[in-house]
Structure 1
Amino acid sequence: MPFPMSRRLALSGIAALGTCLCLPAAAQDGVQQQASQAEADASLPAVEVVGRRQSGSYHADEASGTKTDLPLRELPQAVRIMSRQTLDDLGATRIDDALDYVGGISRQNNFGGLWDNVAIRGIAGDINSGMPLLLNGFSGNRGFNAPRDTANVERIEFLKGPAASLYGTSEPGGTINVVTKKPLWKAAHSVELYAGTDDFYRTSIDTTGPLGERVAYRLNAAVENRGSFREHVDAQRAIIAPALTWKLSPATRLDYSGEVLRHETPLDRGIVAVGNRLGDVPRSRFLGEPADGDVRVDNQTHQLALEHMFNARWSSRIGLSYKEGSLKGYSTEAQPALASDGRSLPRQRRYRDYASDDVTLQAELIGRLQAGAVAHELLAGMETYRLDFDQRMLRANPTDTSPYAIDVFNPVYGQPRPVPLPNTDTSEDQKNLAFYLQDAMSLGEQWRLLAGVRFDRYDQSLLNNRSGARSQQSPTATSPRLGISYLANAQWTLFANAGKSFRPNNGSSASAAPFDPESGRAAEVGAKWENAAGTLGATLALYDIRKKNVLTADPVNTGFSMAAGEVRSRGMDFDLSGQLSRHWRVNASLAYIDAEVERDNLLETGGRLLNIPRLNGSLLAMYEDALANGTRYGIGGGFTHSASRLGEARTQAQANAGRPAFELPSYTVARLAAYWRLSPTLRLSLDVENLFDKTYYASSFQRTWVSPGNPRTVVLGLQAKF
């Protein structure tokens, strides 16, 4: 399988490296001591750092995405860290497998299985590119991105609340930062083999170690063939993720992280509801055309980061990221409603040829100062990026003479496929320049104050290649944030924060016009608790969020988006994670979300937001011990619960006419996890999802695009370390 390398990437990387090497290399004794300590920390036993962990923590005390050294207990923000141990216990091979176990996360339309998508605290991301996502602090969701694999993921940071003062284009509900695995200075290697129901097969490797005194490497790779309970739907993917660390001097380090991924699967819009009823059509039924074949998503990401410590107080970081994505293939997709006979489903046929290129440069200066009784941790940064976003779609709509329909109760595949004609052909160009400041202040023993602001200027240009029309806009934004924490005692913290957000909307309306940028504001108050040992922690937060110019499904023009005016979300989320005792670790969440449309020219005022349950929660617990022969074992499980959700946007006219809302029913799904460590280097694992084979529906875009959840699946694994 070819993995092309971009010439532009190579030139950009050389330029960035030359810039980085110009930084001063002198360091004081304190810096050398820190570097020696870093080497010592990196030399942990290999059994704990590659492959599936035998025993690790669910609880973390810091997050790189906050860009401050403040421990999470002192930070005036709700943050949930999903550790590698949690991912292992969930048997998560994609981050989508783990998202239900964090408070306030709600599943959204996943574009027929071609990307990850959730809402955080009731607020969804860009309808054209998915959820708000960072990769090692760089934007990870601009453009087109396949479902993210966990082969090279070390942890996932859920930064709840507004983060625009640091990252600009983010959501007021929160941002997800995926942190990848880094090279280690002690050799360690693992190979993992998995086989499961519905013809699931996966092989992965994780290898790391030094290449010399100053250079260390890491390589993660995986190949997966995934069958499905869905007829005519399977998926293939391959990922290779190299990483290098180069110690240019005791005070200067250059890190490279790369990732190349190919994902192939049919675009699967799911099943249909008959009237407002789900269940009449089996959850396994595919309503597209098997002959359309796969849609292929290719992603390539390369990141360089150079960190230099001038002395014990001042340091700098320069980062460069290049990311490209493409999505190509045919699909047959249902129209919004069944025909009058209640069984014939009109369909469209589409061909997509999408491409995106995203280049980002960051530069930051960090200082730690003492001014009287106040300690300051200062951050000053600059970011600029350019995004090229091209969409070309061919489409064939059903007509009276060529209905291109399928009987949902007795499907017959292989009918003549209509030839799609040009429909959308746009080239979008986004440029951004931003400056940001942050000051994390320690005001004595009990008070922490976090203040930040970011200034953004965007230039957005959209060319309609069919008509030649070009539209442009150059919005600016100021995104402030202010938070305060009170450390009541060694275990309890009270906090509050507020901030604004801003995000340009990708894509175009049915008339090929660009959308106005989104703007939002959010506030939260809450409490944090951590046990004396620092191994178990909890966060409870109350929030209120408002957002304007939100994109949602256009109920008049199928497949297009529209701005929904103003929405709001308020509620509560709770997270608990860590070690209950020597044998037990636990991860629990609970959330209440009240999210609705506040003002709109088309959608129902006061109507609920799509796919947002009022209540959801989860529990994961694992017990570990040793057998009489000295081998170790672990057994545990958990469940996720979601209340009913709105499954299709409803217009004000439909509400006035008394048309009942289409809803997805509530569900509770259980899972089982177990392992047996046969020797220090060999381990067997068992993961069972949907233990009681519950029929449920995970998300919906409209009543003819409903995504059913997986039935019971069983996966056996063998992990070897050497």
Structure 2
Amino acid sequence: MAGQNFRKKFGAGEADMSSTLAIAAMGALALGSSVSDSPAQAAISPQERAGLAQSYRIASGPLPGALNAFADLNGLQILYDSEVTSRLRTVGLDGDFAVDEGLDRLLSGTGLSWRFAAKGKTVSIILAQNDRGTATDASGAAALPPIDVGAEAKERTRGAPQGPGDRFTGYRPSPTAATTLKTDTPIMQTPISVQVVTRQTMDDQQAISMRDAIVSNVSGVTLSPNFFDILKIRGFSSFGSTFKNGLQDYRARNYDTTNLQSIDVLKGPAAMLFGRMEPGGVIDMVLKRPLETPYYSVEEQLGSYGLTRTTIDATGPITSDKSILYRVNGEYYRTDSYRDYVTDRAVFIAPTVSFHPIEQFRMNVDFEYQNKTWVDDYPIYPAVAGGPANLPRSRYLSPAFLTVNMPNNISKRRIAYDWTYDLSPDWSVTNRLSYALTNNRTDNGFPLGFNQATGVLTRSMTLNLGYVDKVFSTNLDVKGKFATGPLQHSILVGFDHFDFFSPMSVGASLSASAINVYAPNSWQFENILGASQYTIQGQKWTGVYAQDMISFLGDSVHVLLGGRYDWAETAISRYRTSPYLAASTYWASYDKGFSPRLGVVYQPFSWLSLYGNFTQALGANQVTTQGVTLSPQRGEQYEGGLKAEFFDKGLLLTMAYFDITKTNVPVTDPSNANNTLLIGKARSQGFEIDLTGRIDDNWSVIANYTHDDVRTLVGTATDPVSAYTRQVAVSGGILPGSPRNYGNLWVKYDADGDLRGLSVAGGVSASSDQLGDTANSFVLPSYSIFNGMIAYRTKIEGFNVTAQLNVKNIGDRTYYPSAASRYLIQTGTPRTFMGSLRVEF
């Protein structure tokens, strides 16, 4: 269909009709190059446009936001009187509808109706408080104000990006998680537990890191002592299971939330969609996208321990027809720490360009640059007898002479794109690709042993003066919908490829000085001269996958059938005393395997879903710091649960029971923290509850609870004394850092009336006792910490200004959130304050 694609505001008529609403239709047609100030031209009649159908997922809520979302999906622009619509609500739109059917449903119960108007080839939609009909011109349309995309009503729309800069998303996730699930299937119809941390959640809690954003807001997620950004999901490590816009970001450190729109956590083995990974789940960071409406934000944050953080966010159109958009997010960050000697400095900038030249094609190109310098803070902290040593939580036990004088540094550049082409209303092709190049300089201290009587800790250290990580990832998905008799099919067929390579690097593993933990001499000289080690390492895998979501019985039953086949390669230098040996012994191991996924959803009511799934996964071959390639992990899960929506779909409840088994589980070698051991088989069995969203226009909540029994099923056969002295896992033992019960609660109140703009929130995070090592020889005590927030939004000289204060660990509780061995215990952060001032325009 030839024509021009325009995306600009539509002028209204002349009469004064304060209760009249107008929707101006902008023709979403084929690629064109010229721009006009006249209304868009359409080669279809109003009646034809009214009958055009597509799929909608518009949440219930205030009417203005719903109309805006409807207009965006149809290439329309809306003009309306905000005084008329500001207090009106809609039931939303969920399913396939023609334009006229969709408008009827959105306006149901509002006392408003709609009608088309056509003047020549101009297509307009006009909403008015009168009978609907089809007019032959635009006469009778009122002079109306343009859409106020920053109106208060728009911030309240549930389950979708809203408000200035798409910041006011609420806590309730969008109805779909299309980037993570790779389809537009609603979460309510997906037989998998998916939790989403929204942009507003991150802003309300001033969550700077990915870890902070996830741990207190998603069930089943706990901290894990590590050099990389690794968490534990349902009791198992997330190593190799962290993605950015659906593509793996391998061996990454220090994830920041500056350019994130949301963080999706897909529970259980997800190999069918993402390849070889841990069975606990997947973390997918969804990036902010450019907007057609210009938006600019500057925020300054100040906090405890000298923290200062400046962020910018700018977006808008590049071309007048808005077919090319941009967005730039940037950050400068510096802080010291409650831990002695620890500092952190970072610069981050992330521009994005979006292309939408024709209605069927959309493309985003992302760039990221990160430069970070920090003093390493590996959590060396010993246990004494049955609990953590009685030491100040600020005590720093790494070799400070090395780590402070030679701080770590990473310089990372990443480029990625994703594009989608709609072959037809029911079929599309999506391709994603990313490439990241990271230059690293790291040095770390490791504990070797601890004499409880004398307090002397023996240590080693590693020194890597420079190495490079190259990570390439791509996939291609074909999605389609069709019917075979009474069965409706939604299929996904795809291919992906991942390639990690670290060229020849030079490092050293050295002896370090011993230190008395009770009377430390942190500045002992460390001899960094030693035998060099040369290493090359890499991984590759390729996978093909397919799934079919079959719906029937009036769309109340959904059956998911899927499977994936992987070919994997893991390589590392086996001998590393010279560059020649490193290159000549760069040997690979190979694996392949099939990973099935089966699931079913029964939806007896639109607000209630019962689901179950069975999945298997071929895990990754991890390579230890000793250069040993470990056998691949294999995971298997049975899961069942329910999902329910309350308060006009404003609140989402997910309850899940899961039983996961995993073979070849890696654990830290207690006699050498550089090394890794495997236990035969482990199981994570428990249930989770997540409740997120808005109760009404004032109250919002995030609540979750986890009961999880994570233990070794097949371990090392030994006696209890040997298990303690050798620190090995035995059958029946609990995996370290795995509390049986833990949960979080966060409640927010947005004031009305004279106090409009004021928000107050508070929450608690609590955990039961947990065992700290594989031999189960000591206990981390239970704890609960309280957090709070107060914010005020107002308008000053046309600028939206938000002042906010967050306090974490209000009671200044001493606690230990996780541990890996008797020498590696993570300490909890003391009471901290963080204030911010944000200006938006």
Cα distance change of structure 1 residues 40 and 89 upon mapping to structure 2, 3 Å threshold: farther
Which residue does the alignment assign to 1:342? Answer: 454
Aligned equivalents of 2:551 and 2:324: distance in 1?
Answer: 37
Aligned equivalents of 2:164 and 2:211: distance in 1?
Answer: 21
Counterpart of 1:259 in structure 2: which amino acid?
Answer: E
Task: Note the C-alpha offset of 1:388.
Answer: 0.6
Q: How does 1:524-539 map to 2 (within 5 A)?
A: 524-531=639-646, 533-539=648-654
Segment of structure 1 superposing worse, 567-576 or 699-708: 699-708
Task: Note the C-alpha offset of 1:480.
Answer: 0.8
Segment of structure 1 superposing worse, 79-88 or 57-66: 57-66
User: Could you tell me the TM-score, scaled by structure 2's length?
Assistant: 0.76
1:413 aligns with 2:527: no
Task: Note the C-alpha offset of 1:201.
Answer: 0.4
Match of 2:835 among 694, 716, 722: 716
Contact 1:25 1:252 in 2 (8 A): no
Aligned equivalents of 1:44 and 1:136: distance in 2?
Answer: 30
Q: How does 1:444-463 map to 2 (within 5 A)?
A: 444-445=553-554, 446-463=556-573
Deviations 1:31-69 (A, max 9, x none): 999996265599882574556946734343211211222
Match of 1:615 among 741, 746, 752: 741
SS of alignment partner, residue 605 of structure 2: coil
Aligned equivalents of 2:770 and 2:507: distance in 1?
Answer: 31
Match of 1:92 among 187, 202, 207: 207
Aligned equivalents of 1:388 and 1:608: distance in 2?
Answer: 35
Counterpart of 1:700 in structure 2: which amino acid?
Answer: A
Cα distance change of structure 1 residues 413 and 52 upon mapping to structure 2, 3 Å threshold: farther
Aligned equivalents of 1:39 and 1:672: distance in 2?
Answer: 42
1:189 aligns with 2:296: yes
Deviations 1:580-617 (A, max 9, x none): 12210000000000111111345211111121111110
Give 5+ residue unaligned stretches, structure 2: 1-29, 33-42, 56-69, 79-146, 152-161, 717-727
1:595 aligns with 2:710: yes
Which residue does the alignment assign to 1:265? Answer: 374
Match of 1:644 among 769, 774, 783: 769
Task: Note the C-alpha offset of 1:193.
Answer: 0.3
Task: Note the C-alpha offset of 1:354.
Answer: 4.1
Which residue does the alignment assign to 2:442? Answer: 329
Give 5+ residue unaligned stretches, structure 1: 1-23, 399-403, 651-659
Segment of structure 1 superposing worse, 533-542 or 101-110: 101-110
1:108 aligns with 2:224: yes
Which residue does the alignment assign to 2:635? Answer: 520
1:295 aligns with 2:408: yes
Which residue does the alignment assign to 1:689? Answer: 808
Cα distance change of structure 1 residues 559 and 83 upon mapping to structure 2, 3 Å threshold: same
1:250 aligns with 2:369: no
Task: Note the C-alpha offset of 1:509.
Answer: 6.5
Counterpart of 2:286 in structure 1: which amino acid?
Answer: V
Aligned equivalents of 2:506 and 2:661: distance in 1?
Answer: 33
Which residue does the alignment assign to 2:341? Answer: 232
Counterpart of 2:149 in structure 1: which amino acid?
Answer: P
Which residue does the alignment assign to 2:259? Answer: 152
Task: Note the C-alpha offset of 1:327.
Answer: 2.9
1:432 aligns with 2:541: yes
Task: Note the C-alpha offset of 1:264.
Answer: 1.9
Counterpart of 1:669 in structure 2: which amino acid?
Answer: I
Deviations 1:556-593 (A, max 9, x none): 33311122221111100110011112210000000000
Task: Note the C-alpha offset of 1:301.
Answer: 2.0
Task: Note the C-alpha offset of 1:344.
Answer: 1.8
Which residue does the alignment assign to 1:218? Answer: 327
Aligned equivalents of 2:426 and 2:367: distance in 1?
Answer: 30
Counterpart of 1:134 in structure 2: which amino acid?
Answer: F
Q: How does 1:43-62 map to 2 (within 5 A)?
A: 45-46=149-150, 48-50=162-164, 53=167, 56-62=170-176
Counterpart of 2:198 in structure 1: which amino acid?
Answer: S
Which residue does the alignment assign to 1:653? Answer: none
SS of alignment partner, residue 488 of structure 1: strand
Aligned equivalents of 2:533 and 2:71: distance in 1?
Answer: 54
Segment of structure 1 superposing worse, 199-208 or 605-614: 605-614
Cα distance change of structure 1 residues 149 and 509 upon mapping to structure 2, 3 Å threshold: closer
Task: Note the C-alpha offset of 1:439.
Answer: 0.9
Q: How does 1:523-602 map to 2 (within 5 A)?
A: 523-531=638-646, 533-601=648-716
Segment of structure 1 superposing worse, 526-535 or 337-346: 337-346
SS of alignment partner, residue 479 of structure 1: strand
RMSD between aligned alpha carbons? 2.5
Segment of structure 1 superposing worse, 492-501 or 618-627: 618-627
Cα distance change of structure 1 residues 556 and 39 upon mapping to structure 2, 3 Å threshold: farther
SS of alignment partner, residue 291 of structure 2: coil
SS of alignment partner, residue 73 of structure 1: helix
Cα distance change of structure 1 residues 259 and 204 upon mapping to structure 2, 3 Å threshold: same
User: Could you tell me the TM-score, scaled by structure 1's length?
Assistant: 0.88
Counterpart of 1:151 in structure 2: which amino acid?
Answer: T
Which residue does the alignment assign to 1:397? Answer: 511
Counterpart of 1:385 in structure 2: which amino acid?
Answer: F
Which residue does the alignment assign to 1:626? Answer: 752
Cα distance change of structure 1 residues 369 and 703 upon mapping to structure 2, 3 Å threshold: same
Counterpart of 2:828 in structure 1: which amino acid?
Answer: G
Which residue does the alignment assign to 2:18? Answer: none
Task: Note the C-alpha offset of 1:237.
Answer: 1.3
SS of alignment partner, residue 734 of structure 2: coil
Contact 2:401 2:525 in 1 (8 A): no
Aligned equivalents of 1:383 and 1:496: distance in 2?
Answer: 27
Task: Note the C-alpha offset of 1:385.
Answer: 2.2
Contact 2:290 2:353 in 1 (8 A): yes
Contact 2:487 2:550 in 1 (8 A): yes
Deviations 1:265-291 (A, max 9, x none): 211123333343325111011112333
Deviations 1:428-484 (A, max 9, x none): 222222111111121122101111111111122222343443432221111110100
Larger Rg: 2
Cα distance change of structure 1 residues 41 and 81 upon mapping to structure 2, 3 Å threshold: farther
Aligned equivalents of 1:326 and 1:89: distance in 2?
Answer: 33
Match of 1:668 among 781, 784, 793: 784
Counterpart of 1:281 in structure 2: which amino acid?
Answer: L
Which residue does the alignment assign to 2:237? Answer: 124
Aligned equivalents of 1:582 and 1:31: distance in 2?
Answer: 32
Aligned equivalents of 2:53 and 2:361: distance in 1?
Answer: 10
Contact 2:71 2:77 in 1 (8 A): no
Deviations 1:350-405 (A, max 9, x none): 2024432111221111111122111111111111222113565412225xxxxx11
SS of alignment partner, residue 817 of structure 2: strand
Deviations 1:136-186 (A, max 9, x none): 01112x2x3122111101011111122111111232221111101000011
Counterpart of 1:503 in structure 2: which amino acid?
Answer: G
Contact 2:387 2:779 in 1 (8 A): no
Cα distance change of structure 1 residues 576 and 261 upon mapping to structure 2, 3 Å threshold: same
Aligned equivalents of 1:133 and 1:50: distance in 2?
Answer: 29
Aligned equivalents of 1:52 and 1:374: distance in 2?
Answer: 37
Segment of structure 1 superposing worse, 300-309 or 462-471: 462-471
Aligned equivalents of 2:827 and 2:708: distance in 1?
Answer: 22
